[in-house]
């Protein structure tokens, strides 16, 4: 969460809202019920967090999700 907050200029803040110690999932960003969400997994556990951005419109939110997934691909 810290890395995306510091490295992506339009990300304002992140906050965790879910954790499962026994679930592995693919790490990705998506538009969800809580706004932009990140599903993060290290292969053994999964955490989900909300990503607050400067996006104001639906188009900006979709663009932010695409940019965050591109950033994730480059960062790994």
Q: With a cut of 90, say whether residue 75 has pLDDT above it.
A: no
Say how many domains are in the chain: 1
* Domain ranges, residue 55: 2-75
- For residue 34, what pLDDT is reported? 86
Task: Tell me the whole-structure pTM to 2 decimals.
Answer: 0.89
Q: pLDDT per residue over 16-70, tens digit each?
A: 999 999 999 999 999 998 899 999 999 999 999 999 999 999 999 999 999 999 9
- For residue 59, what pLDDT is reported? 96
Separation in Å, CA 24 to CA 20, 34, 35 = 9, 21, 22
- For residue 76, what pLDDT is reported? 66
């Amino acid at each position: 969460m810290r890395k995306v907050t510091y490295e992506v200029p339009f990300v304002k803040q992140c906050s965790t809202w879910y954790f499962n110690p026994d679930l592995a999932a693919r790490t990705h960003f998506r538009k969800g019920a809580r706004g932009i969400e990140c599903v993060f997994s290290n292969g053994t556990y999964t955490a989900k967090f909300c990503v607050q951005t400067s996006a104001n419109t639906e188009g900006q939110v979709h663009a932010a999700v695409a940019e965050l997934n591109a950033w994730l691909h480059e960062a790994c």
